[in-house]
Amino acid sequence: METIGHWIGGQLSAQATRTQDVFNPATGQVAKQVAIAPRATVEEAIEVAQAAYPEWRNTPALKRARVMFRYKSLLEEHADRIIELIGAEHGKICHDAAGELQRGIENVEYACCAPELLKGEFSKNVGPNIDSWSEFQPLGVVAGITPFNFPAMVPLWMFPMAIVCGNTFVLKPSERDPSTALFLAELLKEAGLPDGVFNVVNGDKEAVDTLLESPTVKAVSFVGSTPIAEYIYSKASANGKRCQALGGAKNHAIVMPDADMDNVVSQLLGAAFGSSGERCMALSVAVAVGQEAGDALIEKMSAAMQPLKVGEHTDKDNDFGPVITKEHQQKVVGFIDSAEAQGATVVVDGRQPKVTGFEDGFFVGATLIDGVTKDMDSYQQEIFGPVLQVIRANTMDEAMQLINDHEYGNGTCIFTRDGEAARYFSDHIEVGMVGINVPLPVPVAYHSFGGWKRSLFGDLHAYGPDAVRFYTKRKTITQRWPSADLREGSHFSFPS
C-alpha cells in the first residue's frame, strides 16, 4: 500500500515512526497511508526553510513573481490530476473540485502582482533635506496549517503570497487528504522554486505543536474548527508569533417576504448542499421572515431537493459526494437525530441514502429540517454536513438579532427585492462577509476573506491585501544628507 510522505528540501521523504490510514470516503475503504511526522522531522523542515531564507529573501520580487506565473500555468496544465486527487481522498465531485482549484489559482494570479504590492511608499523633503520611505520586508519562516475540506484552495490562500513576499514556508495539510499538497509542491519545484523555500510535513498535533513552539517560525496561518483555531491562536501568540486562525461558522440566510422564492430555492440548494456542506461558508440556516415565506420556502425547497444526487466523485452528474470520515458521518446524523428529538421536523431525511455500488461510503443525503429553534444543539453548533435548517421569524429585526446573537460571524446573506432593507442589513449585521442575494459571499482573490467574532482569531484576514500585511513587516527609514558646509547645534526639544 502506498505511503504518503513529506516534501522537505525539494524532495520526497517518508520519515515516520507512525502512519495513519487515508480513506476513499466513497467506498469506505483504506486507500493509502500517510506518514505522521515526529517532532524531529518537522524541525528538519523548519531548519531547511531557514537555510533557504536568506537567498530567497534577497531574490528580486520580479523574479519571485515569475515563479508564480509559471506555477499558475502548471496548475492549469495539471488540473485534471489535482481534481482527481481531491476527489479520491476528499470525495468532492469533479466539477466542485474544479471550482475549488480555480479559486486557488486566482490567488496565485494575485500573488503574481508582488512587484506592485511590495513597492512601499516614499516622501521627499519631509523636513529640510530629509526623505522618508517605508518598505515591506519578509518575516522569515512562516507556516500554514490547513483543513481537509479544501486541500488545494486553502493552501493556495497562503503559500503563494507568503513566498512572493520573500518568506519560506512549511505547510502542514490535513492528514485526511494529504496527496494534493505534495503534488502542489512538486509543481512548485517544476516552476523553478529553489529547494527548501516550500516544504510539506504531514502529521497530527505533535507536528502542529512543533510549529507553534519553534522560535524560528515567525507566523502561523490556520483554517479549521473554532476550538482548534482558538488553541492555535493562543499558543502561537504566547510564543511571540503573528497568527491568523480562521474558525467555524453558522451561516444564516434571511429570506424576506418579497424575495423571489424560486431564485431563493435555486441558490440555497448549492449553498447548503454543495461540497456536502463541508465548507465554512455553507449556508446551514434559512431564517424565513413571516409564516407565508416560511411555508413557501419549505414547500418549494423540499420539492427541489428530490432530484439531488449524492455519489462518487468521478460522476459529474452527482451534485455532491460523501463526508470525509465514518466518524463525521455519524456526527452529522447525530445532529439530525437531536433536532428531531428536540422538537424539529425532518422534512427531507438524508440519514440513509442509497448509493448503488458504494454502500459502505460515508454518505449523508440532503436534509431539510423545519421548526428549528435557537436553543437546539443542531442550531448552536456547526454541523458541517448537507443539512439545511429553517427557523421562522416575525420580523427582519428579529431575524437579524438571531444572527447577531450567535457566537459565529463568518458569512451571511439576505434575499430581498428591497434595496433599503438590504442596505440596512449590510450596515447593521455583525458578520464579516455579507451577501445581498448572493448566498456564498466569498471574496475574490484581490479582496480578503475572514469572519467576525469566534470565526476569526487575529487582526488580519486571509489572502488579498491583508495577506501582504500578514506576511510582511513594515520598516520606515528616515534619511538626511546635510550640506558639507552646514554645521548645526544640538536640539533638545521634540522633535529635533
pLDDT of residue 347: 98
Q: How far is CA 428 from the centre of its chain?
A: 25
> The C-alpha cell of 45 is what?
523542515
The pLDDT of 231-239, averaged and rounded, is 97
389-440 pLDDT tens trace: 999 999 999 999 999 999 999 999 999 999 999 999 999 999 999 999 999 9
Range of the structural domain that residue 373 is part of = 251-436
In this structure, are residues 89 and 176 in contact, taking their beta carbons and an 8 Å threshold? yes
**In this model, does residue 188 exceed pLDDT 80?**
yes
Q: pLDDT (tens digit, 9 = 90+) per residue, 298-334?
A: 999 999 999 999 999 999 999 999 999 999 999 999 9
Q: Is residue 496 part of a domain?
A: no
Q: Look at the alpha carbons of 451, 104, 88, 211 in this order and tell me if their dihedral is positive or negative.
A: negative
Residue 398: all three cell numbers together: 428579529
Examine residue 430 and state whether it is found in any structural domain, yes or no: yes
Per the domain annotation, does 223 fall within a domain? yes
Examine residue 491 and state whether it is found in any structural domain, yes or no.
Answer: no
18-67 residue pLDDT tens: 999 999 999 999 999 999 999 999 999 999 999 999 999 999 999 999 99
**Three-state SS annotation for 312-339:** CCCCCCCCECCCCCHHHHHHHHHHHHHH
The pairing of beta strand 283-289 with beta strand 168-172? unpaired
Structurally, the chain folds into a number of domains equal to: 2
Based on the fold, state whether residues 393 and 409 are members of the same structural domain. Answer: yes
Q: Which is nearest to 376 in space by CA: 354, 422, 330, 343?
A: 343
Q: Do residue 217 and residue 307 come from a single domain?
A: no
Q: Let me know if 165 is a catalytic residue.
A: no
Pairing of strands 472-480, 242-246: unpaired
Q: What is the pLDDT of residue 93?
A: 97
Q: Which of 94, 112, 243, 280 is catalytic?
A: 280
Name the average pLDDT for the chain.
95
Percent of the chain with pLDDT over 90: 93
Whether residue 116 is found in the same domain as residue 199: yes
Same domain? For 136 and 216 the reply is yes
Q: For strand 283-289 and strand 251-255, is the pairing parallel, antiparallel, or unpaired?
A: parallel
Q: Does residue 117 sit in the same domain as residue 11?
A: yes
Q: How many CA atoms lie within 13 Å of 429's alpha carbon, on the beta-carbon side?
A: 30
Please tell me the distance from the alpha carbon of residue 244 to that of residue 221, in angstroms, as a whole number.
Answer: 5
The reply to whether 403 falls in a domain is yes
Q: Is the pLDDT of residue 492 over 90?
A: no
User: Is 488 inside any structural domain?
Assistant: no
pLDDT value for 481: 85
275 and 340 co-located in one domain: yes
The verdict on 93 and 224 lying in the same domain is: yes
What whole-number distance in Å separates Cα of residue 80 and Cα of residue 64?
A: 26
For residues 257 and 223, membership in a common domain is answered with no
Q: Is residue 485 part of a domain?
A: no
CA 182 to chain centre: 18
Task: Specify the pLDDT at position 1.
Answer: 80
Query: Do 36 and 158 reside in the same domain of the chain?
Result: yes
Q: Is 120 left (phi over 0), alpha (psi -120 to 50) or beta?
A: left
Please compute the mean of the pLDDT values over residues 161-172 and round it to a whole number. Answer: 98
- Say which residue the cell 465554512 belongs to: 280
- Residue 488: the pLDDT is 72
CA distance 343 to 362: 27
Q: What is the pTM of this model?
A: 0.95
Q: Is pLDDT above 70 for 116?
A: yes
> Is residue 16's pLDDT more than 80?
no
Concatenating the DSSP letter of every residue in 18-67 gives EEEEEEETTTTEEEEEEEE--HHHHHHHHHHHHHHHHHHHTS-HHHHHHH
C-beta neighbour count of 375 within 10 angstroms: 9
The CATH number assigned to the domain holding 385 equals 3.40.309.10
Residues 70-101 have pLDDT tens digits of 999 999 999 999 999 999 999 999 999 999 99
- Strand, helix or coil at 233? helix
Residues 240 and 361 in one domain: no
Label residue 496 by pLDDT band (50, 70, 90): low
**269, 236: one domain:** no
Please count the other Cβ atoms lying within 10 Å of the Cβ belonging to residue 341. Answer: 11
Name residue 246's amino acid. L
Give the separation between CA 317 and CA 303, rounded to whole angstroms. 19
3-state secondary structure of 316: coil
**Position with higher pLDDT, 125 vs 172:** 172
Whether 441 has a pLDDT exceeding 70, the answer reads yes
- Pair 198, 318 in one domain: no
CATH number at residue 138: 3.40.605.10
Residue 373 has what pLDDT?
A: 96
